[in-house]
Amino acid sequence: MKFIIKHEMRGRIRIHLCQRRMTIRQADILQYYLAALPGVKSARVYELTADAAVAYEGDRAALLKAVQRFSYADERVSGMVPANTGRALNAEYKSRLVGKLLLRAFTKLFLPFGVRAAVNSVQAARYLAKGGRCLMGRRLEVEVLDAAAIGVSLLRRDFNTAGSVMFLLSIGELLEEWTHKKSVGDLARSMSLNIDKVWLKTEDSEILVPLPAVREGDLIVVHVGTVIPLDGVVESGEAMINQASLTGESLPVKKGAGAYVYAGTALEEGEIVIRVKKAAGDTRFERIVTMIEESEKLKSSVEGKAATLADALVPYSFGGTILTWLFTRNITKAISVLMVDFSCALKLSIPLAVLSAMREAGSHHITVKGGKYLEAVAEADTIVFDKTGTLTKAKPRVADVVSFNGMKKEELLRIAACLEEHFPHSMANAVVGEARRRGLVHEEMHSRVDYIVAHGIATYVGGERVIIGSHHFVFEDEKAVIPPGRQADFEALPTEYSHLYLAIGGELAAVILIEDPLREEAAGVIKELKELGIRQIVMMTGDSERTARAIAARVGVDKYFSEVLPEDKANFVEQEKRAGHKVIMVGDGINDSPALSAADAGIAIREGAEIAREIADITISGDGLRQLTTLKAISKGLMGRIHGSYRFVIGFNLGLIFLGIGGVMAPSTSAFLHNASTVGLSLRNMTNILPAAKTEKENEVRY
C-alpha cells in the first residue's frame, strides 16, 4: 500500500493513501487493521479524504512497514471486520445534514421572496397534515403545536418565520433519527457475539475449531453455561435456553430435538447437539436491532417521563396562547406563546443525554445495554460482589498440583484440563492454561461430560467415574474418600490457595492449588463506591468461611457470605430488593447468572463466562474494578444533567413566553431562540459527563 505522511509528531502520525477514492468498506478494513497492529493505541480512518490518523507507542519504522504491507484483498484482514460497523450510517446522515444546510443557504440567498413563499407553503403541508391527524385522533400532542405555529405564520404571510420553524424542526428530527439509529447500532454491536471457537462433533469425539470453519449442516455441541454460536435445529439432547437477549422473556425456554435455536441465546441447563442452519451472515445483528427498536425495556424511566411531560405541556401552551389573545387582543403576542413549546427540547435533549452517557461509558470499555440500567446504577445503594474473578484477579493460576494417588502431577493436570476446558470459568481457565504452558496436549479421553452448576464436573474415563470441583461436591455429594494414610497431608494443604479437588473412582486423586490474588485496587474501589453513595457492599463466595473472612477484612466490605450456592446469591438480591434497596450484582461465572438476572443492574466481567455476559445488563473489562466507580460517576452525572435540563427548558422557555407577551420579543425571534436553545442544549447533552477522564475519544489523533 502506497501512502504519504501528511503530518507527524511524537507518537502520532497522519497518512494519506495514494488512491483516488476510498469506499466505506475499505475504510472499515483499514481501520480494523491499524487498530490491531502492535503498539497502536488508537486509529481513525477518514474515507472522504483517504486519510488515516494513528496514535502509537514503540517502533515507528515497524508501524510504517506494517502499513506498507497492508492490502484490502487480504482475507485475514477483511475477516476481522464485522458486517455492520456504523460507518455507512454516519456517512449517510452527515451528507443529509450538509444537504439540508446547503439547501437552506441557497434558498435564503438566491431565491426571490415569491418563490420562497411557495416553497415554504409546500413544505408546510407535511407538518399541517401531521397536526391534523393528531386532532382527528383526539390527541393534543406536539405535532399539533408545530402545525399551529407554522399555520398561523403562513396565514399572517410571515413566510420567513414559518420557514425558520420548519428548518429547525427538520434539523432536530434528523439529529434525533441519526442519534437513535447510531445508538441502536452501537448497542447491537456490543451485544453481538464474540465467539472464537466452537465444539464440532465428529463421529467419535468433539473437536474445538474456529467459528469460521463451521459450515451449514455441521453438528456442534453446546454445553451448559455457554452461548449458542449459530442458528440451527437441535439434533439431540435437551436444554433450558435463556432467550432474553432476543425476545425479552424472563424465564428460560425448554428446547429438545427438532426445536430451532438462535445464535446469541444462552444455555442455562443441559446440553444439546445442533445441526447448523446459518453459518454466516449478520442475522444476529439484525435481530438485536429489531429487538431494541421494538422493545421499551431498555429505556430509562426519565426518558419516558420526558416524553410524557412534553405531551402534557401542549394543552398549556395552547391555553396560554388563547388567554394572551383574550386579554391583549394582540395576535403577535399570542403567537409568541405559540412559537415556544417545551416539548421539543425535552423530547430531544433527554434521550440524547442518555445515549451520550452510554457512549461515554463505552469509551471506558463499559457496555451498557440500555438507559434504564444507568438509572438503576445511579439510584443503587447496595452492591453485591462475587469473589473469584471479580474482587480477585480475573486470571488466577495454578500454584501446584498435590498428588494423592501416586500418579504424576502432569498426568493429573492433563486429566483435569481435559474436563475443565468444556466449561470455562476463571478457575477452569487457570487449569487449562497451566496444562497448555506445560505442553500437556491431550485428546478427548472421556465420555459425556456433565456440569453441576457451582459444584463441579463429572464424567467417566476408562470405566471409572472422574469428578472435579469443590469440597462440597467431591466429598459430600459424591462421597469421595481420602486415600488411607494421607489424611495428615490433606490437612496440611496451604490455606492461602483456593483448592480444586480431583477424584477418580471415588477416591481423591489430586488437589490443585489455585493462586487467586486479590486485585490491588479492590479496597480502594470499595472505599470510592461508598463515597459515591453506595451504603452497603456485600461479598459472596463459594470458598470456606476462613478464606472468605480473610478476603472480606482486606477489602473492607460491610458483609460477607461463604460457601454460597447460585440460588443463595439470587435469594439475597431478591431479599434486598423487597426491603426497598436498589441492588447491583457484579460477577463473572455461570453460578452468578441467577443473581445477575435478579439484580436491578447486573454487571459481568467481560473475560468471564459467556452466559454471564449474555444475561448481564452491563459488562466491564477485566482490566480493573475502577470501571465500577467510573460507571457510578457517569450514572450520577447523567441524572444530574437530566434534572438540570428540565430546569433549563422550563425556565428559559417561560422567559421567552413572558418576553413575547410583554411585547419585548417578536414571534420569529422567540421561535429562533427557542429552537436554538433546543439545539444548544442537545449539543451540550452530547458532551462527556466526566470532562477530566481520558476516554478513548479524547486520546484519538486530531488534526
pLDDT at 576: 94
pLDDT band at 147 (very low <50, low <70, confident <90, very high): confident
The CATH number of the domain holding residue 76 is: 3.30.70.100
Kindly state whether residues 572 and 692 are assigned to the same domain: no
The answer to whether residue 331 sits within a structural domain is yes
Domain tally for the chain? Answer: 5
Distances (CA, A) of 298 to 355, 357, 498: 11, 14, 39
The answer to whether residue 703 sits within a structural domain is no
Comparing 274-288, 333-347, 519-533, 554-568, which segment has the lowest mean pLDDT? 274-288
**Cell triple for 213:** 470453519
Residue 418 has pLDDT above 60, yes or no: yes
Closest alpha carbon to 609 in 567, 545, 557, 566: 566
pLDDT band at 174 (very low <50, low <70, confident <90, very high): confident
| Residue 191 C-beta-side C-alpha neighbours within 13 Å | 32
Q: What is the DSSP letter of 342?
A: S
Kindly state whether residues 266 and 117 are assigned to the same domain: no
Residues 393 and 517: beta-carbon distance below 8 Å? yes
At 12-22, the pLDDT tens digits run: 999 999 988 89
Question: What are φ and ψ of residue 240, in 5° steps?
Answer: -100, 120
pLDDT band at 186 (very low <50, low <70, confident <90, very high): low
Kindly state whether residues 255 and 135 are assigned to the same domain: no
pLDDT at 694: 45
Kindly report the average pLDDT of the chain as a whole number.
81
Kindly state whether residues 325 and 220 are assigned to the same domain: no
Which of 463-467, 497-501, 573-577 has the highest average model confidence (pLDDT)? 573-577
The answer to whether residue 360 sits within a structural domain is no
Residues 620 and 627: beta-carbon distance below 8 Å? yes
Domain boundary among 465, 481, 515: 515
Q: Which residues contact 602 (CB under 8 A, 6 or more apart)?
A: 584, 585, 587, 595, 596, 615, 616, 617, 618
Residues 601 and 380: beta-carbon distance below 8 Å? yes
pLDDT band at 458 (very low <50, low <70, confident <90, very high): confident
Which contiguous run of DSSP H or E holds residue 236? strand 231-242
Higher model confidence: residue 188 or residue 227? 227
Q: What is the DSSP letter of 583?
A: E
* 3-state SS assignment for residue 35: helix
β partners of residue 605: 620
Domain boundary among 493, 515, 537: 515
- Rounded Cα–Cα distance for residues 591 and 388 (Å): 11
Kindly state whether residues 308 and 345 are assigned to the same domain: yes
Residues 337 and 656: beta-carbon distance below 8 Å? no
The CATH number of the domain holding residue 596 is: 3.40.50.1000
Kindly state whether residues 663 and 648 are assigned to the same domain: yes
Residue 360 has pLDDT above 90, yes or no: no
The rounded radius of gyration (Å) of the Cα atoms in the chain is 30
Domain boundary among 268, 291, 314: 291
pLDDT at 695: 45
The answer to whether residue 630 sits within a structural domain is no
The answer to whether residue 593 sits within a structural domain is yes
**Cell triple for 268:** 442455562
H helices of 111-258, in order, are 113-136, 142-155, 159-191, 244-247
Q: What is the DSSP letter of 392?
A: B
Kindly state whether residues 259 and 239 are assigned to the same domain: yes
β partners of residue 55: 12, 42
Contacts 24+ apart (CB under 8 A), 596-603: 597/244, 597/250, 597/570, 598/570, 598/573, 598/574, 599/384, 599/573, 600/376, 600/379, 600/380, 601/373, 601/376, 601/377, 601/380, 603/628, 603/631
Which of 56-60, 342-346, 355-359 has the highest average model confidence (pLDDT)? 56-60
- Rounded Cα–Cα distance for residues 633 and 378 (Å): 8
The CATH number of the domain holding residue 259 is: 2.70.150.10
pLDDT at 295: 47
H helices of 450-512, in order, are 471, 487-491
- Rounded Cα–Cα distance for residues 671 and 651 (Å): 16
pLDDT at 184: 67
Number of H helices, E strands in the chain: 26, 24
Comparing 190-204, 353-367, 466-480, which segment has the lowest mean pLDDT? 190-204
pLDDT band at 304 (very low <50, low <70, confident <90, very high): low
Beta-strand relationship, 464-469 and 498-504: antiparallel
Domain around 428: 397-515
Comparing 286-295, 348-357, 414-423, 454-463, which segment has the lowest mean pLDDT? 286-295
**Cell triple for 642:** 437530566
Higher model confidence: residue 331 or residue 41? 41
Kindly state whether residues 184 and 307 are assigned to the same domain: yes
Residue 401 has pLDDT above 90, yes or no: yes
Kindly state whether residues 64 and 40 are assigned to the same domain: yes
What count of residues does the chain have?
Answer: 703
Kindly state whether residues 387 and 536 are assigned to the same domain: yes
pLDDT at 194: 57
Higher model confidence: residue 354 or residue 333? 354
Closest alpha carbon to 295 in 343, 361, 230, 249: 249
Kindly state whether residues 285 and 335 are assigned to the same domain: no
pLDDT at 363: 78
Burial class (CB in 10 A: 0-12, 13-18, 19+), 579: exposed
**Cell triple for 192:** 453481538
Question: What are φ and ψ of residue 536, in 5° steps?
Answer: -135, 120
Contacts 24+ apart (CB under 8 A), 564-567: 564/540, 565/454, 565/591, 566/453, 566/454, 566/591, 566/592, 566/593, 566/594, 566/595, 567/594
At 3-52, the pLDDT tens digits run: 899 989 989 999 999 988 899 889 988 988 898 888 888 899 998 889 99
The answer to whether residue 133 sits within a structural domain is yes
Higher model confidence: residue 552 or residue 172? 552
The answer to whether residue 702 sits within a structural domain is no
Kindly state whether residues 338 and 478 are assigned to the same domain: no
Closest alpha carbon to 193 in 245, 241, 239, 238: 245
pLDDT at 245: 58
The answer to whether residue 428 sits within a structural domain is yes
